A and B are shown apart, each in its own frame.
Chain A
Amino acid sequence: MSELTLTLIKLGFLALLWMFVLAVLSVIRSDLFGAKVDARVAAAPVAQPNGRTPKPVKPSKKKKGQPGSVTIADGPQAGVGATLGEQPVVIGRGSDCQIRLDDDYSSTRHARVFQSEGEWWVEDLGSTNGTYLDGQRVTRPVPAEIGGSIRIGRTTLNIAK
């Protein structure tokens, strides 16, 4: 067999091998960027333009001014929440969190809401993308007040009575 044919076969095979690698890369790329989005949900009007509309407050017998619950405000998990009792409430993607988020942008143990000296505090647990209370990044424990909104990744949680 001629030298030229052998060289062509050699280069052809290398090209074929690389084609596989590139095909895999393009599949991974489309998995990252080309995900189908549910048009109905994406086009739904943004209900809370600023993300800080407080939830309608129900009358309760609790001491005035003390937050009583943290609830996810919107999205498929809207309404999921936890009441603030003695135990701190951990929010994140992990299975051991009291509020489990289905949000790729949140960390496994993202933030916690806890009681100290008669007040409630929001603390970031070293998350990757940060925790925001009323638009301000939480760098140290900050007091949580009724009507405040916590943003974690793409999820907003409301603090209510």
Chain B
Amino acid sequence: MSIASTSVIQIIPRSRRGVELMLLLIAIGVSVGAYVNIGITVQDKVPASTGYYAAGIGLLAFIAHMALRYRAPYADPVILPCAVLLNGLGVAMIHRVDLGLAIAAEARGATPRAPAAPQQITWTAVGIVLFLVVILVIRDHRRLQALTYTAGLAGLVLLILPLVPGLGADINGAKIWVRLLGMSFQPGEFAKLCLVVFFAGYLVVKRDVLTLAGHRFLGLDLPRARDLGPILIAWGVSLGVLVFEKDLGSSLLFFGLFLFLLYVATERAGWLLIGFLLFAGGAWFAYGTFGHVHKRVEDWLNPFNEQGVGQVANALMGQAWGGVLGRGLGQGRPELLGFYGQSDFIISSFGEELGLTGLIAIILVYTLLVERGLRTALGCRDIFGKLLATGLAMSFALQVFVIVGGVTGLIPLTGLATPFMALGGTSLVANWAIVALLLRISDQARRPQTPAAPVSDETIAMAVQKQ
């Protein structure tokens, strides 16, 4: 076999900020379009607040864009527009359910609840502020590697925080909330970010040991028994979250993230097998022991049981009514799910009003977001950055899979926030921080590398002679 060409093609890196601006304009156009559409169909007029909504979301997106232009010029051009689109659509749908709930309350003669959409816009602004802080403060993601164990400790503390008496609050059966200054937060959302940093930093150091093969079984190299410690600890902590905080979603997310990063770091499929067995054992234990887990599985298997129609049944009916093209924005009845039509079940609200066509588009936007995250990991030059980007991207992927799978009846429903869309301040703010970190890594990965100084023949000859 002869070698065709030996010339190295030099690709000129482009910053692609102009393309990002164009995509942002489309994303804002879609969001404002949704808002106007809802106004027209529900209230029969273009809502007066359209200007505020458009200016707000446009300004926030523009600020984030300018920060990238000056501080991370080579960052991926697709990530920010995708996040802005999801956030904008989420606010529009929350506004739509607000309107529906207000109409329903009026019909009952009750006073309507305060609308949630303005609150969500405020939280978006807080999220963009954190985005700016991350982009401006973290100039090089590799500095985070020094904080590996600090991040691990912070993650654990944040996880345990809701269990502290007097601070934690029990909302809808799950003890994942912290009440402070009259507001409630979900520290688990930030624990996710800290733990990904910890997992990445830890696996960079330990991956060589964890790669060592032990027994061979069914064509898979299983790890050695003495290396099982870390995965058992991760499993134990996840089960602990399930037992003490009754939070199925976070428990699944943390274990899934650790398992996935372990697999990526070691390239050993044996870990996946062990992880799956541990997960199956934990799931069986939880199903048999905890009433709330048992009920979730029952609701999944028989959503239309005799004891009245549950949330899942309502969501499935809504999506079926939506069909392929949907009822059209403002023409469904997502308010029948109440508050959940804005939070856990917001995907089902979209399924009802935009149909399968719209839902596929939304899931594709998530897919593109995750794909760009994984692409960043591929292009990144240091192993810590690779693992960090993979972990951050996978946190979106896992969350979307778990919640969309739950809402559409593929897997038992577990309460996780739909990233960027669902009503909830902490989740939104944490997700903006994650996106900022991803963009920081991708700036580093796509930035042109200064070629290494060539070594002349003489230097090599001298080096050889010295030996």
Contacts and interface: CB of A to CB of B under 8 A. Distances in A.
A binds B: yes
Contact of A46 (B6, B327, B328, B455): B6
B464 A13 contact: no
B7 A23 contact: no
A52 B6 CA distance: 9
B41 interface: yes
Contacts of B327: 10
B227 to A, nearest CB: 20
Contact of A37 (B10, B41, B364, B383): B10
Given A9-B328, A27-B19, 17 more contacts: A6-B328, A9-B41, A13-B328, A14-B354, A14-B358, A16-B33, A24-B78, A27-B77, A28-B78, A31-B77, A35-B11, A48-B6, A51-B3, A60-B464, A77-B451, A83-B463, A85-B467
Given A13-B37, A102-B451, A60 B461 contact: yes
Interface string A115-156: 000000000000000001001110000000000010100111
Interface string B49-87: 000000000000000000000000000011001100100
5 contacts: A1-B41, A23-B26, A37-B9, A37-B10, A155-B8
Given A28-B368, A75-B7, A36 B354 contact: no
Interface string B21-38: 011001101100110010
A140 B325 CA distance: 57
Contacts, number: 187
Nearest to B89: A17
A112 interface: no
A50 B1 CA distance: 11
B465 interface: yes
Contact of A83 (B9, B14, B365, B467): B467
Contacts of B171: none
Contact of B381 (A48, A93, A155): A93
B139 interface: no
Most B-side CB within 10 Å, residue of A9, A17, A51: A17
Given A6-B328, A14-B354, A81-B455, A27 B23 contact: yes
Interface residues of A, number: 72
B329 A17 contact: no
Most A-side CB within 10 Å, residue of B6, B37, B357: B6
A45 to B, nearest CB: 8
A60 B8 contact: no
A16 B354 contact: no
Contacts of A13: 33-34, 37, 328-329, 354
B326 A14 contact: yes
Contacts of B30: 16-17, 19-20
Contact of A95 (B10, B78, B381): B381
A155 B458 CA distance: 22
A31 B16 contact: yes
Contact of A94 (B12, B331, B383, B455): B383
B81 A83 contact: no
Interface in A3-18: 6-7, 9-11, 13-14, 16-18
Contact of B461 (A27, A48, A58, A132): A58
